[in-house]
A = this chain, B = another copy of it.
Amino acid sequence: MRTIDWVDGCPLIVDQTVLPDEVRFLSLSTVDLLIDAIRRLAIRGAPALGVAGAMGVALAARLGNELGIDVDDAVRRIRAARPTAVNLAWGVDRAAAYLPAGPAAVLAEALTIRDAELAASYEMGRRGADLLQELAGDRIRVLTHCNTGGLATVEYGTALAAVRSLHERGQLTDVLVSETRPLLQGARLTAWELRESGIAHRLVTDSAGPFLMVRGQVDAVVLGADRICANGDVINKIGTYAHALGARAAGIPFVVVAPESTVDLETKSGTDVDIENRAGGEVLSFSGRRTAPLGTEALNPAFDVTPYPLVTAIVTESRVIRLDRGDLP
């Protein structure tokens, strides 16, 4: 099962808003449907967003050709659908470079990106597992945050690919999955993926992680990134920074696994990044049920910045950046 693919002239995605209750596929036949799917996180995860951006441009190019829609405007709107994720803009730009060559060339580039992301996932899994073994030995208990599995990529994953790879090597002894409020990607998506793959795991609240680390129940934290800055600062799902503080206090490795497309050398450091504040309603409800009294307001930063000194290493499909040894992205 692929999280995103190109079927019958359109992007076909797994709707992540209805998991784990239902596995529903959505055919995104218009640019507005695609943008809406990106905005409401029906498709999410840095690598998957790169593919979605490129396929969005392929869709716009086809519809421009067939129906005469304004392709440049469509490309601009797709690119701006999520401000923090650098991969979306990256995928859009790569595909858009082929617009002068026509819709078929744009589609070919989008499919190239899809295939490259697929190959990159397996490579990140292998390199990530190698590093985790090197840092934490041959019987490893990991904690992961948010969803970095097949659902965040085309298949297999980024950080969760490393976890899968450790499992395949017989070196994984425990997985703690933080639920990842407010949208519960850990509880809804990661727990679902691990169950489907037969990998034993337990769910924990987001604020329990640092305590479980200092109590000696975690050997390494491994998670993804939405953007990696030139100095090594990591922009990722809210809660990443708190987990990094916990890992440092407990003296365990904090490993980020993400594709090269996440590395953004144009962004000098995390202080330069516009952190997306999403709607307060996400915090005020839990699985569709209101949690706070009517009229309560919420502040909902969707991402945070983990400063490079807290990151042991960043693993991509082509290299291991040992920030703890002074390497730079």
Which of chain B's residues have a CB closer than 8 A to the CB of A74? none
Cα distance, A291 to B286, chains bound together (Å) = 9
Partner of A203, one of B188, B239, B241, B297: B297
Check B202 against A297 for contact (C-beta < 8 Å). Answer: yes
Q: Does A289 contact B (CB under 8 A)?
A: yes
Which of chain B's residues have a CB closer than 8 A to the CB of A214? 241
Q: Does A204 contact B (CB under 8 A)?
A: yes
For this complex, 25 residue pairs linking A to B, each with C-beta atoms less than 8 Å apart, are A178-B207, A179-B283, A181-B181, A181-B206, A181-B207, A188-B291, A191-B292, A195-B295, A201-B297, A202-B297, A202-B298, A203-B280, A203-B283, A203-B292, A205-B206, A206-B207, A207-B238, A207-B242, A208-B300, A208-B304, A211-B242, A211-B301, A242-B245, A242-B246, A245-B249
A304 to chain B, nearest CB (A): 4
Which of chain B's residues have a CB closer than 8 A to the CB of A300? 204-205, 208
Copies in the complex: 2
A278 to chain B, nearest CB (A): 11
Cα distance, A289 to B187, chains bound together (Å) = 12
A298 to chain B, nearest CB (A): 4
A248 to chain B, nearest CB (A): 8
Contact bitstring A264-300, B, C-beta under 8 A = 1, else 0: 0000000000000000100111111111110111111
Which of chain B's residues have a CB closer than 8 A to the CB of A246? 242, 245
Cα distance, A305 to B238, chains bound together (Å) = 23
Check B286 against A184 for contact (C-beta < 8 Å). Answer: yes
Contact bitstring A59-86, B, C-beta under 8 A = 1, else 0: 0000000000000000000000000000
Q: Does A20 contact B (CB under 8 A)?
A: yes
Cα distance, A206 to B206, chains bound together (Å) = 7
Give the A interface residue count (CB, 8 A): 54
Q: Does A329 contact B (CB under 8 A)?
A: no
A192 to chain B, nearest CB (A): 5
Which of chain B's residues have a CB closer than 8 A to the CB of A187? 283-284, 291-292, 296
Q: Does A209 contact B (CB under 8 A)?
A: yes
Which of chain B's residues have a CB closer than 8 A to the CB of A224? none
Check A286 against B286 for contact (C-beta < 8 Å). Answer: yes
Which of chain B's residues have a CB closer than 8 A to the CB of A299? 176, 202-204, 208, 212
User: Residue of B at shortest CB range from A307?
Assistant: B214
Which of chain B's residues have a CB closer than 8 A to the CB of A207? 178, 181, 206-207, 238-239, 242-243
